[in-house]
Copies of this chain bind each other. A is one copy, B any other.
């Protein structure tokens, strides 16, 4: 399954790595790609293993605001 999260406050390459890293650490997430300019993160995941709330929480834990 694929889902795009809207994430505020990602400003640089470090932010990109933090957010992608946090998502990729979740079991069930197979890909995460940040688009800094758009403020969006594309995530590919197995919906039987992880849900959008868990993905939002992982990104928020890195210090960013997320809307699904």
A12 CB–B CB distance under 8 Å: yes
A66 CB–B CB distance under 8 Å: no
Stretch among A13-21, A26-34, A46-54 lining the B interface = A13-21
State the CA gap A12–B13 with chains docked (Å): 10
Total chain A interface residues with beta-carbon distance under 8 A: 8
Nearest-CB distance from A60 to chain B (Å)?
A: 15
A67 CB–B CB distance under 8 Å: no
- CB within 8 Å of B: which A39-68 residues: 63
Nearest-CB distance from A49 to chain B (Å)?
A: 29
B contact residues around A9 at 8 Å (CB): 12
Nearest-CB distance from A14 to chain B (Å)?
A: 3
